[in-house]
Structure 1
Amino acid sequence: MKKIILIAFVTLLSFSAQAQEGLTWHTDMSKATDISIKENKPLFMFFTGSDWCGWCIRLQKEVFNTPEFIKWAKESVVLVELDFPRKSDQTDAVKTQNAQLQQQLQVRGYPTVWFVGATKTADAKINLNALGSTGYAAGGPEKWLASANQIIKK
């Protein structure tokens, strides 16, 4: 019996590792914006409390860690995690960046996902164009991705 439980546990861990394989979550908006402009993809800005927000953790488990989301994300967006942890340390630069973006996009709760288009002006300034936002929605990856696709097709 113990062997079966151990095998099941190892199988689940390997599936979880495979699911996240290849996804890059940026924490530096400057780098993410450059990639977004270069690849002509919107920014997927995930405002989260990674170590305390139950709905954020649930969204990650039910949607972000699924093969459907991973395939979609690789093709459609540049992922940015804007984290507001309570137990983990962050650099002052990351804290400042995240707080400024939270204020700019008027994020009031977690999880919040903003889809944003990025452009550069002639004098190399970056403009962010908010396309829309969403949060947790029950119904699994299919429902969540349908909603996300409606936002980014605007």
Structure 2
Amino acid sequence: MKKLLLILFFVMGAITAGAQETLKWHTDMIEAMKVSEKTKKPMFLFFTGSDWCGWCKRLQKEVFTTPEFAAWAKANVVLVELDFPRSVAQTPEIKQQNAELQQVFRVNGYPTVWITTANKDKEGKVNFTPVGSIGYLAGGHPAWLEAANKILANKPPARK
């Protein structure tokens, strides 16, 4: 009987671990661009104030932590978190990168999500092709994913 309970415990643990699989959120834009190019998926830029923005926390809880979002994200985008925390330390490089991207995408409030593609020109300059943006939406993951899918429907074709 103890052996059966032990086996059941391990099986349930494995199932639970699989269901709680975490998503890969990139913080380095260069790395995210490489993954985007390799997978031919657009980047999902999440501008957030993770430790102070109430709407950002709500979006995380209602949408980004759901299994439905995880499945959607894995199939459709490369996730990038561009954080502007008040009490969490960041490297100077990440702070500068995030501030520059905030200006490029004209982000005035949080949370803001931009779906974009990017490529480098012959001189090595990064050129973004924004597809669309979205912020917090009431209605949880169904409403949010519906809006995100409408943005993806406008995605330009992948460059070869």
TM-score range, shorter chain: 0.7 to 0.9
Equivalent AA in structure 2 for residue 114 of structure 1: W
Distance 1:122 1:152 in 2: 27
CA RMSD of aligned residues (A): 1.8
Provide the TM-score with structure 2 as the length reference. 0.82
Distance 1:123 1:107 in 2: 26
* Structure 1 residues without counterparts, runs of 5 or longer: 1-14
Distance 1:105 1:98 in 2: 11
Find out whether 1:82 has 2:50 as its counterpart. Answer: no
Partner of 2:112 in structure 1?
112
* Structure 2 residues without counterparts, runs of 5 or longer: 1-15, 155-160
Structure 1 residues 103 and 147, CA, compared in 2 at 3 Å: closer, same or farther?
A: same
Larger Rg: 2
Partner of 2:92 in structure 1?
92
Partner of 1:37 in structure 2?
37
The answer on whether the counterparts of 1:16 and 1:65 sit within 8 Å (CA) in structure 2 is no
**Matched residues, number:** 140
SS in 2 for 1:82: strand
1:16-53 per-residue CA deviation (whole Å, 9 max, x = no partner) reads: 9944x241000000000111011110100000000000
Partner of 2:3 in structure 1?
none
Identity of aligned pairs, percent? 58
SS in 1 for 2:41: coil
Partner of 2:71 in structure 1?
71
SS in 2 for 1:130: strand
Equivalent AA in structure 2 for residue 37 of structure 1: E
Cα displacement (A) at 1:70:
0.3
